[in-house]
Chains A and B, each alone.
Chain A
Amino acid sequence: MASIQLKNIVKKYGKGKAELQVIHGVNADIAHGEFIVIVGPSGCGKSTLLRMVAGLEEISGGEIWIGDRVVNQLEPAERDIAMVFQNYALYPHMSVFDNMAYGLKIKKMPIAEIKQRVDKAAGILELGHLLDRKPRQLSGGQRQRVAMGRAIVRQPQVFLFDEPLSNLDAKLRAQTRLEIQKLHRELGITSLFVTHDQVEAMTLAQRMIVMNAGNMEQFGTPEEVYHTPASTFVASFIGSPPMNLMKNAPGGKPGTILGIRPEHLDVGSEGWEVKVETVELLGAERLIYGRVQGEQLIVRVEEGTHSPAPDAIIHVAPRTDRLHTFDAATGKRIAG
C-alpha cells in the first residue's frame, strides 16, 4: 500500500534577505492507487512539489509520507518511486534495453529477472522490436515510451510524471494520454502527474490539485473543480473558454464576483442585455464575445442556433443554479 501524504510542505530558496518562498504549506492526502494531477500555470511550484516528492529537491518544511515512511531524508532511489522526465532523460549511450535495465542492475537484481521485467514492460509498451536501438534512433513518441518503460520495470510504489507529454505533438499527446490511463488501470500504481495543460488534467485525473503561486487552490475530482471552483483563479484556469467573472454583474451584490461558465448562458428573448463584439466559430460551437454593463462576457452556443452580427443586442439568460459567487477581496468561493 502506498498512499502519499503531504503535510504542510514548504519550499524556500536562498537564505536571509534573499529568501524566497515558492511553496506555501501544501497539504494533501493521496490514497493508494489514485491518479493525481497537479496542474497550474508555469511558475506555480507544481514541478517543485513533484521534485520534492521525488527527492530531487530538499524539503524546507513539513513532511512527505510515502506509505508508512517519512521520506524527507531519503535519497530518490530509496523512496521506491519512478519518475518520467519532461525531456525523458534517457542515457544517450545506452540501448533501450540498458536504459530500462540500468536501475535494476544497480540494485544487483539477477540478470534473468531483469530480462523478464524489461521484456514484460517492452511488451506492454510495444517496444519489443526497439530494445537494441539507441535513444537517438527513436522518434519522440518512442523515447517517451522508453522513459515510461524505465519507470515501469522498477515496479515502484509511486509513479511521478513531470510534464511527460509536453514534447509530443497534439495527436500523439492525445494517444499517449489514453495509454497512460490504460497503464494506470492495469498497474494500479499511485501516480502524481504534473502538467500545465488543463485538458490533460481534466482527462487524466481521478483527483487534481490546482496550484497557483505556490498555494494549493483546490484539491478535488475534475467534476468538483469544474462545477464548484474554490476560487476565481480555479474558475478561470479550468475550462476553455474560461468562466465569465464579473464584478458588477446584473443582480450581483457589491463586494462579490459573479461567475458563470459560457455554456451555462442561454440566448433568448429575456435576461441580460448583451452588446455583441465578435463571434468565433469553433466547428461544433460558436463563441459570442460581448459586454454586459461594461463587463466582458463569453457565451457558448451550439453551431447553427445563433449567429448575431457584431454590435447587435442580444438577450442572455444565466441558468441560476449554475451561478457562482466569489468574494471580491480574497477571490474565494462564497458557499452556495
Chain B
Amino acid sequence: MIQRNPILDFISHAILILGVVIVFFPIYVTFIGSTQTAEQILSSNPISLLPGSNIVESYRFALFGGKTEAGATVAPALPMMGISLASALIIAIGKIAISLLSAFAIVYFRFPFKNIVFWMIFVTLMLPVEVRIGPTYEVVSNLGLLNSMTGLTIPLVASATATFLFRQFFMTVPDELVEAARVDGAGPMRFFKDVLLPLSKTSMAALFVIQFIYGWNQYLWPLLVTTDESMYPIVMGIKRLIFGEVYIEWNVVMATAILAMLPPAVVVMLMQKWFVKGLVDTEK
C-alpha cells in the first residue's frame, strides 16, 4: 500500500495487532500457566492471566522430572529434547545433503532414464510419510531399527521437495559458469564443492529452517517406531504428560510445551535473515 492516510494506517495496524494477539495469546496462556502451581491452575476458572511465582519449580520438574507433591511421576524433558534435537538435525541436514546430490545428478549428468528418475522422485511428493506409513514401518521393523535413531530419522530424510527446489536453483545457474569451471579444470565434484555449494548457501539455510521444524514436530512416526521411553522425542513427551496420569500437573505440561517451542523459535530467529534471502533472492 503506497497511500499514506491516517485512517488506513489505523485500520492496517489494528488488523496486524489483532493477528498478533490471536497468534500470541495461546502462547502467553501457556507461559503464564507454567509460572503457576498446579493447584492455582485447577482452582481458578478461567485460568488467571497473571504470572505466578512457581516458575523455577515448574521448569525444574519439566526439565529434570521427579515426583510431585501430589504423588505423580513426571518424566524429564531434557533427554527427550536431546532426542528431538538430534533427530531434527539429522533429518534437516540429511535432507539437504541428499537433495543437493540428487539434484546435482539430475541437472548436470547425462544418464539413461534421467527423466524417469526425476519423475519418480517428483511423484514421491504425493506419498508423504502418513500415506506410506504401513509399509515403511514394516521395512524399518524388519531391519530391526525400531527404537533407534536410524529408524527414527532415515525414513524421513528423502525429500522430493528439497530435490525439486535445488534442481530449479541449479537450472538457473548459467551454463557459462559450468563451462568456465571446465576450462579451469574443475571436475564435477570440484565444481559442486567450489561453485554450486557456495551459491546454494541461502537456499540451504531456508531449507534447513523448514526441515528442522518439520523434524522437530514429528509425532506420528516416532509414535510408531519408538516403544522405549529413552527414544521418545519431546512432542510425544507432552502428550504423555496429559494422558495416563489421573492428576495432571498442568504447570509442568505448560512448561514442557514452552520448552518444546523454544528450539524451533531459536532456529527461526537466528536464521531469519538467511531464510528470507533464500526464499526471495538468488545471489547471482
Contacts and interface: CB of A to CB of B under 8 A. Distances in A.
A150 B177 CA distance: 13
B283 A103 contact: no
Contacts of B194: 91, 102
A91 B177 contact: yes
B284 A103 contact: no
Contact of B284 (A75, A88, A92, A102): A92
A296 B199 CA distance: 56
Interface stretch (A18-26, A36-44, A76-84, A246-254): A76-84
B283 A93 contact: yes
Range for the number of chain B residues in contact with chain A: 10 to 19
B284 A89 contact: no
Contacts of B180: 83, 85, 89-91, 150
A75 B182 contact: yes
A206 interface: no
Nearest to B176: A89
Range for the number of chain A residues in contact with chain B: 20 to 34
A102 B190 CA distance: 11
B78 interface: no
The interface centre, meaning the residue of B180, B182, B185, B194 with most chain A CB atoms within 10 A of its CB, is B180
Per DSSP, chain B at the interface is helix
A106 B183 contact: no
A55 B179 CA distance: 10
B134 interface: no
A86 B180 CA distance: 11
Contacts of A17: none
Given A89-B176, A92-B284, A54 B183 contact: yes
B184 interface: yes
The interface centre, meaning the residue of B179, B186, B190, B199 with most chain A CB atoms within 10 A of its CB, is B179
A56 interface: yes
Interface in B183-213: 183-186, 190, 194-195, 198-199
Contacts of B183: 54, 56, 76-77, 81-83, 103
B174 interface: yes
Interface of B: 174, 176-177, 179-186, 190, 194-195, 198-199, 283-284
